A = this chain, B = another copy of it.
Amino acid sequence: MTTDIEIAQSTELKPIKTIADELNLEREDWEPYGSTKAKISETLLSKLHDRPNGKVILVTSINPTPAGEGKSTITVGLGQALNKMGKKSIIALREPSLGPVMGIKGGAAGGGYSQVLPMEDINLHFTGDLHAITTANNALSAMIDNHIHRGNDLNIDPRRIEWKRVMDINDRALRQIVIGLGGPLRGVPREDGFNITVASEIMAILCLAASMEDLKARIAEIVIGYTHDEEPVTVKDLKVEGALTLLLKDAIKPNLVQTTENTPAIIHGGPFANIAHGCNSIMATKTAAKLSDYVVTEAGFGADLGAEKFLDIKSRAGEFDTNAVVIVATVRALKMHGGVNRQNLNTENMEALQAGMENLKKHIETIKTFGLPFIVAINKFPTDTKPETDFIKSWCESRHVDVALTDVHANGGEGGIELAEKVIEKAGNADQQFRHVYDLDDSLEAKIRKVAQTVYGADDIELSQEATKQLAYYEQQGWGRLPVCMAKTQYSLSDDPALLGRPGHFTVAIRELRPSIGAGFIVVLTGNMLTMPGLPEKPAALDMDVDPDGTIKGLF
**A residues engaging B (CB < 8 A)?**
31-35, 39, 43, 98, 102, 120-121, 124-125, 127-128, 131-132, 134-135, 138-139, 141-143, 145-146, 149-150, 167-182, 185-188, 211-213, 216, 239-240, 242-243, 245-247, 249-250, 534-535, 537, 539, 541-542, 544-546, 548, 550, 552-554
Q: List the B side residues contacting A174 at CB < 8 Å.
A: 179
Q: Which residues of B sit under 8 angstroms from A181, Cβ to Cβ?
A: 176-178
* Complex Cα spacing A239 to B554, Å: 13
A185 touches B169 (CB 8 A): no
Q: Give Cα A537 to B537, complex, Å.
A: 44
Given contacts A171-B145, A177-B178, contact A39 B34 (CB under 8 A): yes
**How far, in Å, is A340 (CB) from chain B's closest CB?**
28
**A172 contact set on B, CB distance < 8 A:** 145-146, 149, 180, 185-187
Which residues of chain B are within 8 angstroms of A541 by Cβ–Cβ distance? Answer: 139, 143, 240, 243
- Say yes or no: B178 contacts A186, CB within 8 Å: no
Beta-carbon nearest neighbor of A181 in chain B: B176
Q: Which residues on the B side are within 8 Å of A145 (C-beta)?
A: 171-173
Contact A246 B179 (CB under 8 A): no
A552 near B249: Cβ-Cβ < 8 Å: yes
Closest Cβ–Cβ distance, residue A549 to chain B (whole Å): 8
A151 shortest CB reach to chain B, Å: 9
Whether A545 pairs with B243 at a CB distance below 8 angstroms is yes
Q: Assess A171 versus B138: contact at CB under 8 Å? Given A212-B546, A545-B242, A548-B213.
A: yes
The listed residue with most B CB atoms (<10 A of its CB), out of A179, A250, A553, is A179
- The residue of chain B having its C-beta at the shortest distance from the C-beta of A540 within the complex is B243
Cα distance, A75 to B100, chains bound together (Å): 43
A146 touches B546 (CB 8 A): no
Enumerate chain B residues within 8 angstroms of A120, measured Cβ to Cβ.
249
Q: Contact between A31 and B31 (Cβ–Cβ < 8 Å)?
A: no
B242–A554 CB distance below 8 A: yes
Q: B132, A242: Cβ atoms under 8 Å? A: no
Contact (Cβ within 8 A) B125 A131: yes
A537 touches B182 (CB 8 A): no
Q: Report, nearest first, the 8 A-B pairs whose CB atoms are least far apart.
A: A242-B545, A173-B187, A176-B182, A131-B131, A243-B541, A145-B173, A243-B544, A213-B548
Residues in B whose Cβ lies below 8 Å from that of A546 = 212, 216, 242, 245-246, 249
B212 close to A186 (CB less than 8 A)? no
Complex: chain B residue closest to A555, CB-CB: B246
Given contacts A142-B171, A212-B550, 8 further A-B contacts (CB under 8 A): A34-B39, A43-B550, A125-B135, A143-B535, A146-B535, A173-B180, A175-B182, A245-B545
Closest residue on chain B to residue A537 by CB atoms: B150
A143–B538 Cα gap in the complex (Å)? 10
- Contact pick for A246, options B31, B124, B178, B180, CB 8 Å: B124
Query: Given that A131-B135, A173-B186 are contacting pairs, would A246 and B545 also be in contact in the complex, using a CB cutoff of 8 Å?
Result: yes
What are 21 A-B pairs with beta-carbon distances under 8 A? A32-B34, A43-B550, A102-B243, A125-B131, A135-B168, A138-B167, A141-B171, A142-B169, A145-B172, A146-B534, A172-B185, A172-B186, A172-B187, A173-B180, A173-B187, A177-B178, A177-B179, A187-B534, A239-B542, A243-B542, A249-B550
In the bound complex, do residue B180 and residue A242 qualify as a contact, i.e. CB atoms below 8 Å apart?
Answer: no
Instruction: Find out whether the CB atom of A554 lies under 8 angstroms from the CB atom of B246.
Output: yes
- The CA of A542 and the CA of B180, in the complex, are separated in Å by 22
Pair B552/A246 contact, Cβ less than 8 Å: yes
In the complex, what's the smallest C-beta–C-beta distance from A492 to chain B, in angstroms? 20
Set of chain B residues within 8 Å of A550, measured between Cβ atoms: 43, 212, 249
Which residues of the partner chain B approach A179 to less than 8 Å between Cβ atoms? 173-174, 177
Task: Quote the shortest CB–CB distance from A43 to chain B (angstroms).
Answer: 8
Task: Considering the complex, give the chain B residue whose CB is closest to the CB of A27.
Answer: B35
Query: A11 CA to B250 CA in the complex, in Å?
Result: 21
- How far does the Cβ of A148 sit from chain B's closest Cβ, in whole Å? 9
* C-alpha spacing A31/B16, complex, angstroms: 12
Chain B residue with minimal CB distance to A178? B178
Which residues does chain B contribute within 8 Å of A167, judged by CB atoms? 138
Closest to A145 in B: B173
Task: Tell me which of B102, B132, B188, B242 contacts A125 (CB under 8 A).
Answer: B132
Q: How far is the CA of A39 from the CA of B544 in the complex (A)?
A: 23
A309 to chain B, nearest CB (A): 27
CA A369 to CA B287, docked complex, whole Å: 63
A142 near B554: Cβ-Cβ < 8 Å: no
**Which of A212, A246, A544: most chain B CB closer than 10 A?**
A246
Chain B residues near A176 (CB, 8 Å)? Answer: 180-182, 186
Tell which of B127, B168, B247, B539 touches A124, judged by Cβ atoms closer than 8 Å: B247
User: Contacts of A539 on B, CB cut-off 8 Å?
Assistant: 143, 146
CB distance from A129 to the nearest CB of B (A): 10
A186 to B544, CA, bound (A): 25
Least CB distance from A454 to B in Å reads 33
Q: How far is the CB of A167 from chain B (nearest CB, A)?
A: 6
Q: How far is the CB of A86 from chain B (nearest CB, A)?
A: 32
Q: Contact: B34 with A34, CB < 8 Å?
A: no
Contact B32 A98, beta carbon cutoff 8 Å? no
Distance (whole angstroms) from the CB of A181 to the closest CB of chain B: 4
A125 x B180 contact (CB < 8 A):
no
Q: Which residues of B contact A128 (CB under 8 A)?
A: 125, 127-128, 131
